[in-house]
Every structure is written in structure tokens, then in C-alpha cells.
Structure 1
């Protein structure tokens, strides 16, 4: 029997769950995910971030248990953010040998050595003013900040970090860090550059978690204007020329066009950062019963991969591991 009408029957490949799974073009898997953690100084601290349900600040004595839980879920990489007890104008805690990220990294590599440690390389959590570099004349001094960022990167690698992830958006940060790592004897440590980081309103909850809100002004002189698309290509191109090994696009959800642009233009792994505001909006809606959290999260994370992300930094990684295991 032939069709009465001359048209394509696309629904044939959607007829059952098994059929849909067989022809699915984009698949999420746990190897895709990097889970951010916030480590604080002190003891016996496991404090939920008020604006990020299910995300905690933890002290060093909780880090081993946290890593073992992540490993049991199939999560193989963490991005470590530090929240120091003391801050100063230079952010010296960022590159101190006993800094909180350095101590957390040593602990992780000692206790759970197979966990890949990605170290956030920035100064904003450590500066008293909350900006990502040294302040001169009420603005961030680009070149003066680079020296401190290079010291931070070397210190983190000496503590055992597997990947350096500089998030400061200073011009030239990749080349300065690359030269510093090479000069210190670490030519094989890759740089996961925050190549395309927008001055976004989606970062608010993170600043609660990392205690990194600027004490004056904003970060619009060094983070990108959300209106700009071609600028993202220029930024990523510079970082690739300077030696970046991964390219991060941050935020992800509202910038999927940029993720695709970066993927199409550069031969390097692209990382989408599913940021705190994107996480908290979903959690708030789910708590109010307005959405199906599992279906929505899996849909939006799949969209990031479909747009071209090879890896996703996400606070949902634990949830996703449980859902994919069902």
C-alpha cells in the first residue's frame, strides 16, 4: 500500500521511547561535567548558600567526603573556588602556599587522586574590594594584575592542580600564565581559559557563594558587553594564539549562539559554564511546583551540548548523575 499523500513521515522515528533513543543526536554523559565546589577556611562548616539550594560552602574537613560522593556519582572533575577568612587589596591569599584553594587541592589529590582538579585562577574572592585585579585610580590595572595572576597559577599547580582556569578577563592573561607555568617547569599543564566571559546579571548567586561582590562599581571594563557577538571571536582568537587549551563561554543558557560560534571557529574543546543564576532560577521554580525540574534541566543542558559545548560546568551535575542513573 502506498501513501495517498506525497509528504515525509518524520514521526516514524518518534514512535516509541526506544526509537527516539536510537536516533538521538545529542547525548549527555557524566564525562561532560565539571562540578564547582566552594571551600572555606575553618572547621566543621557545611553551609548551604541561601540563593543556591543544594549548593554548600564546605570546610576542608568535609572535602574528602564531598569528593567521594562525586566520584560515586561518576563525576570526574571539580572546579575549586576558595573563600578565604581574610582579604587584602592585593588578594595575596590567592597565591599563598597555604591558600584555601591550594590546601583543598592537596587534600583532593592525596585522598581522591583520580579526581581532576580545575583551579579557578582569579583574585576577586581574595581582594578586599572584590575586583579581579589590582586597583589603581579606582580602576583595575590590567598589567599589574597579570603578575599576581601568574603567581596564583604557579602556586595552584605546585599544589597539584591538573588544569588552570583563569577567569579574570585581563588582556594577555593567557600568555602571561602560559609563560609562568612553562618557566616554572609545568609546560604540560593545560589552561582552560574563560575566553568569553560576559558582564552578566546571571552571576548574583555565585557572589553569595564565593563572597566576591565588588565593593564599588562593576566589572564592565573587563568583562564583555552582552550585546556583542563578534567581540567573542576576537577574545577567543587572542586566547588561542596565546596558548589556551580549552575555551570557556560564560554564561551558557543565554549565549548558545556564542557557544556555536566558538565551536565553529576554533579547534579546541569548548566549555559552557551553566552559571549560578541559571541554576537558581530553575531551583526556585521547581520549589514552587511551576516546572518539571528533571525534564527542564536535561533539556537545557542538552541544548548546550547541541550548541557545541564539549564540556559543561554545572551545579546540576549531581542531580544529572542521579537522573541519568535511573
Structure 2
């Protein structure tokens, strides 16, 4: 029998050897945890389609932020349900809204925790679309002014980073100009540059009460069948001043993450979205999968594909597991 000289298994023979040659590592520092804030006090209500995720009043959001920071997770992204909605979503830039109050309170308690502000209109508008309407069409250019107002209001409240998720053309440039004019030249922009019109968003729309009252968002979010278009969106947002590029959803679009990684040197974020989370939780609750193993494998795949930052509802559990 011929002697075997090439034995890749030698590098898998023990945990110690495997750790030495591991190509991709996962850390709590890679994570961003999304928080949903709501009006009221002492509110902590579980979101039915997202087990272990909660609607939180500002006081409880601060408590959760402290837990997140102690686990070594460096950032939170704050979403919110407003006290009122109207046609143009004016509560989105109201300084007394839960999002702005939560940002201010968390930044006061935890000045080193990075606060990311989601900038969109859907959860603030009475019609549930991501901008100002003209008939049943979202008026792109009229919406830019509103998004800029939201971004500045969040920066004033303490946001370190603005994350526009609306998919309006030109919104990165409009937000950058508004932030700079208001003196927030060091507030960065994490652009949802590659955001697909996905079926994976269902539980989030329950959590944020943001489902459109008519139609859908395919006229502004990307077609899941398109790949080349992703780089067009990335190039446009970088030219407008984006500091970080996001791909959303993550798991079904890892080919897009790799495509973006191979073409740009900027940091890349992915959003491990609510539908991806809910499917894992449901399968784990039925005993069909090993939740810890599946979650860590899934998050590692996102880093392996090229992501630097992972926004995920699994962040708290994953950070604990990684300490074991």
C-alpha cells in the first residue's frame, strides 16, 4: 500500500490543533444587538414571533443595554414604536419619541456603547411605507428631506452611527450633508446598501408594526433574483459617503456578501434578520436541532463570507456561548 504523505486530517486531530489553524473566528465583538423600544414605563413584552426578544420601555432598554455591554457586545441598533403615526411619519424625528429618549438614556449610562440609529419611515407612517407618498407611490426625493431630519434628531440624541434602511436613491448623500451641516461630522453612516425585498422580514414587521397598509416594497427594495445590481447599489452609496456597507438579509445572500467583499475594502455588515432567527428558534423549540451549534455555525458562515459586523438577535446567547 502506497504511503500517504498528504493527510489533511492531521490538522483536525485535536481541539488544540484545530484552534491553531482555524481560518475564521467569531467573537462577541462582531455583534450588534437590535433593541425594540416602545412608549410607557416598566414595559417588557415578548414578541410572539421572536422568542426571547422583547418590546421594552426606555427604562428596561437601558437595563438590557447594560447586560449587552457587560457581555462584550460593542453596539446596539435601536428600533422603535412611536406614540403616534401620521402620513409623513413625523414622530420619527420627535425628540420625545421612544427611540430618541432611549438613545439619550443609554448614552448617558453607557457612553462607550456604540448606538446605531435605524433611519426609516415605515414604523412611523400611518400607511406603513418607507417614505412620503404621492398617491400610492413613495416619492423618493420628497422622502430624502424627512430621512435627513430623522438622522439629525438621532445624532442629537446620542447616536454614534446612522443606518438608513429605506432604500431611497440618494439618501446617503442627503443624510451626510445634513449631519455635516448640523456639526455631526464624526457620526458615521452604515448604509443598508443591498437590501432585498425579502420574505424573511415577517416577524420584524410584527415587532415594529411596520407592515405596509397596501401593496409591498418591491418598487424600492431589491429583487432577490438580482446579483449584479448589488454592486451598483454599493458603488453609489460609497460615492455618496457611506462608511459601512450592509447586506440584508444575511443567510440567503452569502453569495452577495462574498461578491461585495471581493470588490470593496470598506467594512461590511450583515443583518441576520427576524425570519432567519425565528426559524432557528422554532426548530430548536421542537427539538429538531442543536440551537447552540446551529447558531454559532450560521454566524461563522457570515464572517467566512466576508462580513465584519453581524447584526443579530442571537447576539446575547452567542456571546454567552462563546465564553463557555
TM range (shorter): over 0.9
- Cα displacement string for residues 240-298 of structure 1 (whole angstroms, at most 9, x for unaligned residues): 00000000000000000100111111121000100000000000000000000111111
Q: Does 1:155 align with 2:125?
A: no
The question of whether the paired residues in 1 share the 8 Å contact of 2:83 and 2:97 is answered with: no
* Cα distance in 2 between the residues matched to 1:109 and 1:187: 18
Per the alignment, residue 142 of structure 1 pairs with: 140
* Cα distance in 1 between the residues matched to 2:251 and 2:60: 31
1:254 pairs with one of 243, 252, 255: 252
- Cα displacement string for residues 189-246 of structure 1 (whole angstroms, at most 9, x for unaligned residues): 1100000000000000001111101110000000000000000000000000000000
- Cα displacement string for residues 149-180 of structure 1 (whole angstroms, at most 9, x for unaligned residues): 00000111011100000000000000010111
Per the alignment, residue 16 of structure 2 pairs with: 18
- Cα displacement string for residues 29-48 of structure 1 (whole angstroms, at most 9, x for unaligned residues): 11100000000011121000
The question of whether the paired residues in 1 share the 8 Å contact of 2:78 and 2:115 is answered with: yes
2:52 pairs with one of 32, 51, 54: 54
* Cα distance in 2 between the residues matched to 1:190 and 1:60: 24
Superposition deviation, residue 6 in structure 1: 4.9
The question of whether the paired residues in 1 share the 8 Å contact of 2:62 and 2:102 is answered with: no
The question of whether the paired residues in 1 share the 8 Å contact of 2:57 and 2:98 is answered with: no
2:65 pairs with one of 64, 67, 81: 67
1:191 pairs with one of 184, 189, 192: 189
* Cα distance in 2 between the residues matched to 1:64 and 1:238: 36
* Cα distance in 1 between the residues matched to 2:222 and 2:303: 23
Q: How does 1:295-314 map to 2 (within 5 A)?
A: 295-314=293-312
Q: How does 1:81-100 map to 2 (within 5 A)?
A: 81-100=79-98
Superposition deviation, residue 7 in structure 1: 5.4
Per the alignment, residue 112 of structure 1 pairs with: 110
Per the alignment, residue 263 of structure 1 pairs with: 261
Q: Does 1:32 align with 2:30?
A: yes
Per the alignment, residue 273 of structure 1 pairs with: 271
Per the alignment, residue 240 of structure 1 pairs with: 238
Q: Does 1:206 align with 2:215?
A: no
- Structure 1: runs of 5+ lacking an equivalent: none
Per the alignment, residue 40 of structure 2 pairs with: 42
Runs of 4+ in 1 over 4 A off after TM superposition: none
- Cα displacement string for residues 117-146 of structure 1 (whole angstroms, at most 9, x for unaligned residues): 000011111001111001112111100100
* TM-score w.r.t. length of structure 1: 0.98
- Structure 2: runs of 5+ lacking an equivalent: none
Superposition deviation, residue 5 in structure 1: 3.4
* Cα distance in 2 between the residues matched to 1:186 and 1:311: 23
Superposition deviation, residue 55 in structure 1: 0.3
Secondary structure of the corresponding residue to residue 215 of structure 2: coil
Please give the root-mean-square deviation of Cα atoms over the aligned residues, in Å: 0.9
* TM-score w.r.t. length of structure 2: 0.98
Q: Does 1:79 align with 2:77?
A: yes
* Cα distance in 1 between the residues matched to 2:257 and 2:217: 22
Superposition deviation, residue 100 in structure 1: 1.7
Secondary structure of the corresponding residue to residue 265 of structure 1: coil
* Cα distance in 1 between the residues matched to 2:57 and 2:314: 21
Q: How does 1:309-320 map to 2 (within 5 A)?
A: 309-320=307-318
